[in-house]
Structure 1
Amino acid sequence: SHMEEYLVQKSWPSECPDPSCNHISKKEQDYRRYLHDMHHYHKVICVASKEAHKK
């Protein structure tokens, strides 16, 4: 998915993509949970895709 490709390319720590938010996540999993909890992304964002990490 587009989100998986985006996350694989990110470096950590990383800022939230929302311009009105200044949250910084130290790890990918924290970033995923934050997007789900605070910005209401679908719950599948919380689980890393195995295919995305094989690239």
Structure 2
Amino acid sequence: MKYQYEFFLPQNPKPIDTITGDIYDCEKKADEIVAELGINEDDDLIIAVTEVGNND
């Protein structure tokens, strides 16, 4: 399955980044955002997920 992942910071209604891919792509992007911004992934990063289709 392919998913759209939107990355948010608390108190900010607009996503700071959006990608389409699988869970591994999401984890990689989350790690990049956390490292770039120097934030705590568990407390400071919100990820919204929407299904967009199959890999087929």
Q: What's the TM-score bracket when you normalise by the shorter of the two chains?
A: 0.3 to 0.5
Using CA pairs below 8 Å that are at least 6 residues apart, which structure has the higher relative contact order? 2
Give the TM-score normalised by the residue count of structure 2: 0.38
Which of structures 1 and 2 has the bigger CA Rg?
Answer: 2
Higher helix fraction (1 or 2):
1
